[in-house]
Every structure is written in C-alpha cells, then in structure tokens.
C-alpha cells in the first residue's frame, strides 16, 4: 500500500493523543514527531518498511517524515502522542540534523522512568509552559537513549523545501525532470536524495498529496470525484482511482465516494 502523507495532520497545531487504546492506522508520514508507549500486550507496527513487534514498556519513536503504521493488535494497549510543530522547536534545534540509531527503546526501566511525561501530556491539564517541559524531557531523553549520528546537513530544510514546492504546485505537471531542474540537481542525484529523505518515490509522493487535495476538494465544493481529481492534477480518472485503491481498502473507498 502506498504510504500516505498526512496533509491534514500538518495543518493541525494541536497535540494529538491516542490514550490507552489499541491505536490502528495505515502507513503514513508527516513532519511531526510521533511517539508510542506500549502499556500492555504485543503491538505490531510498520516502521520504514519493516514489521516490528513491541511489548509492554517499550517505546516507539517516529522521527520527522519516517513512514509508520499500526496494525490491529487485540489485547494490546498503548498511548500515542503526535507533537505539533510549535512544540518541536527545541527538538528541531538540537536534533534536526541528526539521524537516530533506531526507533525502538526496549529498556523497560528507562521507559517506565519517562512514563510520567506521557501521562502528563496525555492528560493535558498542565499549563503551556509545563506541557512544553514534558515534551522536551520526553523527546530529549528518548533521543539520547536511542543514540544518534550526524545526518546530512540541511536535510530538514531540503525536505521542507520539497513539501512546500509540491504542496504549492501539486495541480501542475510535476515529475523528476521538473523538480530536479527547480532544485538545481541532476535528476539521478535528486531522485536518490528524494528517496533517502522521504522513503518513497516522487511519483508516489505527489500522487498521495494530489489524492488528499482531491478528497478535500470533493468535500469543500461538493463536486464529483472526476471533477476534483482533474482539478487537483491527476492526468486521468483511471489514475486517480488506481491511487485511491492503493491508499484505501474497498470499504473505505465506497465510504469516501
């Protein structure tokens, strides 16, 4: 299934909490940082193309733009927190150019030591200053526990530039040649940089963004799927339906249309 860029998630500047439940979602990615604490049971997740199983008192850390998804896991219970960009300024300042040495912390003692930060953030009753302190302590502690190495300098800026360009021009003709020329790279080098940064191809990523805009346009304008798809950059209606079916199962497609 095509990983989905969560455009709506990017626009929401409130903290998202999925508290003490079996969180389930399709494979997706976004700029925001997402953290899961497994409270009990075994939780199956998909992280950067791999299927992993987390157990009680394990933490999963999804850094910016890392693809991840959560499979239904009966008997499992977790708390998931997605931090808005406004709360991530300190994290980006310190770790924006770093590559984490993994995504799972399975040291139960350490995980229990940071659990109070999860609980305080999930409850959401602290003032903004204290909430920010809990965010910084949680993310900083988990990043230090995972360990990190120096990444490509400017990676965050490169990815932000990509997203800004595509979100502005998604209805236009966008392909490897056009984007490589715009950003000043050879198309082969740019393709490799794009895949390394986002873990997907330019074609798949642009299709995901167009799909999100198409669904939004259908809701906001009350137009047909065909009208919205062509307005949002799909070259043909069959292409739109092919991308839609890659992103959603049969029942979801029927509900959307």
- Over residues 193-198, the mean pLDDT reads 76
CA–CA separation, 115 and 201 (whole Å): 37
> What percentage of the chain carries pLDDT values higher than 70?
88
pLDDT tens-digit map of 10-23: 566 789 999 999 99
pTM summary value: 0.68
Decide if pLDDT at 59 tops 80: yes
pLDDT tens-digit map of 106-125: 999 999 999 999 999 999 99
CB atoms within 10 A of CB 250: 8
pLDDT at 107: 98
pLDDT at 27: 78
- Over residues 62-87, the mean pLDDT reads 91
- Tell me which of 61 and 14 has the higher pLDDT: 61
> What percentage of the chain carries pLDDT values higher than 90?
49
pLDDT tens-digit map of 206-245: 888 898 889 889 989 999 999 999 999 999 999 999 888 8
Decide if pLDDT at 159 tops 90: no
As given in the structure block, the two tokens for residue 131 are: 């909430």
Decide if pLDDT at 153 tops 50: no
- Tell me which of 154 and 65 has the higher pLDDT: 65
């Amino acid at each position: 299934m095509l990983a989905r860029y969560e455009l709506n998630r990017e626009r929401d500047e409130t903290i998202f909490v999925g508290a003490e439940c079996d969180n389930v979602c399709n494979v997706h990615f976004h700029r925001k940082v997402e953290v899961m604490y497994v409270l009990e049971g075994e939780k199956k997740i998909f992280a950067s193309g791999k299927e992993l199983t987390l157990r009680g008192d394990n933490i999963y850390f999804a850094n910016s733009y890392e693809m991840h998804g959560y499979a239904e896991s009966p008997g499992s219970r977790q708390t998931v927190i997605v931090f808005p960009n406004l709360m991530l300024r300190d994290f980006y300042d310190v770790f924006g150019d770093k590559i984490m040495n993994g995504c799972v912390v399975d040291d139960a003692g350490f995980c229990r030591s940071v659990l109070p930060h999860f609980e305080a953030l999930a409850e959401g009753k602290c003032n903004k200053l204290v909430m920010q302190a809990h965010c910084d302590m949680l993310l900083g502690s988990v990043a230090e526990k995972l360990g990190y190495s120096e990444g490509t300098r400017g990676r965050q800026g490169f990815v932000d530039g990509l997203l800004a360009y595509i979100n502005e021009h998604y209805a236009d003709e966008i392909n490897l040649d056009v984007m490589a020329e715009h950003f000043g790279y050879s198309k082969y080098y740019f393709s490799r940089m794009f895949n390394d940064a986002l873990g997907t191809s330019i074609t798949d990523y642009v299709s995901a963004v167009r799909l999100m805009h198409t669904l939004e346009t259908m809701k906001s304008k009350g137009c047909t799927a065909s009208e919205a798809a062509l307005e949002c950059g799909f070259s043909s209606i069959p292409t739109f339906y092919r991308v839609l079916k890659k992103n959603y199962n049969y029942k979801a497609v029927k509900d959307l249309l």
